[in-house]
């Protein structure tokens, strides 16, 4: 027999069981909350996540460069630009790799006759990357304001697509 003081405890227990069912006891909280949910058809799952792509650029002190985009791994992108840059025979190659949503640019300024200095800049847009590369280059007093943009590349190939439509 229930004592009057136990009735609120029993009611709270029943309420808690309905609101917060324990897993494995026959009540699926998702189904309980959405009884009219449509059933999904059986078929191949839609891709939920795209694989990231990478870009890379390698450049030499004189501003010579090689770039790649839409490469499936950062390591592969860096290896490819280093190999290609080395074939230019213009000195040590500095490589920079970046995810697809990033763009990078390089700018070169003259220090003395036949001597150049090269700076890189990155951003979420081609314009942002170019501005940063030029700013860094022109802030080096040895360049004396001679800096010029050499190239811009985005990891996802945005510039490649833009050049085909223009």
Q: Does residue 134 contact residue 110 with C-beta atoms inside 8 Å?
A: no
Q: Does residue 1 form part of some domain?
A: no
Q: Print the domain residue range for 117.
A: 54-165
Whether 114 is covered by a domain: the verdict is yes
- Residue at 89 is within a domain: yes
Q: For 83-138, how does the pLDDT look when each residue is reduced to its tens digit (9 = 90+)?
A: 999 999 988 998 989 999 999 999 999 988 778 888 889 999 999 999 999 999 99
In a domain, 156, yes or no: yes
Q: Which pLDDT value is given to residue 111? A: 87
5 pLDDT band, cuts 50/70/90, is low
pLDDT digits (tens, 9 = 90+) for 43-86: 455 555 678 999 999 988 777 889 999 999 999 999 999 999 99
For the chain, the domain total comes to 1
- Please report whether residue 63 resides in a domain: yes
Residue 45 counted as domain residue: no
Under DSSP, the state recorded for 20 is: S
Asked if pLDDT for residue 12 goes beyond 70, the answer is: no
Is residue 41, in this structure, part of any structural domain at all? Answer: no
Both tokens of 105, joined, read: 């640019």
Instruction: Answer whether 96's CB lies under 8 Å from 57's CB.
Output: yes
- Residue 125, C-beta contacts closer than 8 angstroms, at least 6 positions apart: 103
Q: Is residue 94 part of a domain?
A: yes
């Amino acid at each position: 027999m229930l004592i009057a003081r136990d009735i609120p405890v029993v009611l709270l227990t029943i309420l808690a069981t309905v609101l917060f069912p324990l897993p494995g006891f026959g009540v699926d909280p998702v189904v309980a909350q959405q009884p009219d949910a449509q059933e999904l058809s059986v078929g191949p799952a839609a891709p939920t996540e795209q694989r990231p792509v990478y870009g890379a650029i390698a450049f030499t002190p004189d501003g010579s460069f090689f770039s790649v985009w839409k490469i499936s791994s950062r390591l592969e992108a860096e290896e490819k630009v280093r190999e290609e840059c080395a074939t230019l025979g213009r000195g040590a190659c500095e490589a920079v790799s970046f995810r697809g949503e990033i763009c990078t640019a390089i700018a070169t300024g003259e220090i003395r006759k036949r001597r150049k200095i090269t700076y890189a800049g990155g951003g979420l847009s081609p314009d942002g990357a170019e501005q940063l590369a030029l700013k860094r280059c022109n802030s080096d007093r040895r360049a004396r304001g001679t800096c010029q943009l050499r190239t811009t590349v985005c990891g996802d190939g945005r510039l490649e697509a833009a050049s085909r439509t223009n």
